[in-house]
Amino acid sequence: MSLRQVIGAATGAALLLLVAPSAVAVSRASDELTVDPTGHVAADGTVTLFGTYRCLSASGPVFVSSSVSQGDSRVYYGIGGSSAVCDGAEHRWTNSEKRAPGALTPGTAHVEATLMELSATGLPLPMFHAIQDQDIKVVAG
């Protein structure tokens, strides 16, 4: 490895350490995110997850993202994303994503969902408003 590569790697690691505290903001106690106990998988592999969210305010764009795991807990599939409105009211969210048929099947699955804002100043860093991590039942449909 050349000196240039070593310096580049060290500089990149130092920058990540400086950014990491901002990127791992703690969930806000006043904001809420739920995941419905049932999700759907269609015959063509489309997975749909549902839930609710509430957030009081944001200065940048806010999104609800979700992923699902079934069987191997090391493998998660991203399931869409949707925009969120932080006005203090409760809103429904729905995320869908087409996966290979059979990637997810009816049965128990694990969902991770986040209500995340991208900071509106400078480099858009994620700020987490709420995180939900739970098992659900996936049904055909």
The pLDDT value given to residue 120: 79
In this prediction, what percent of the chain has a pLDDT beyond 70? 79
The amino acid at 76? Y
Distance CA 63, CA 103 (A): 25
| Contact status, residue 69 vs residue 110, Cβ threshold 8 Å | yes
How many degrees, rounded to 5, is the angle at CA 79 between CA 73 and CA 80?
155
Residue with tokens 């709420």: 130
pLDDT at 11 over 60: no
Looking at per-residue confidence, does 96 or 29 come out higher?
96
Looking at per-residue confidence, does 7 or 4 come out higher?
4
Distance CA 86, CA 33 (A): 12
Render pLDDT for 80-110 as a digit per residue (tens, 0 to 9): 999 999 999 999 999 999 999 999 999 999 9
The pLDDT value given to residue 108: 97
pLDDT band at 28 (very low <50, low <70, confident <90, very high): low
Enter the pTM of the model.
0.77
Render pLDDT for 125-139 as a digit per residue (tens, 0 to 9): 899 999 999 999 999
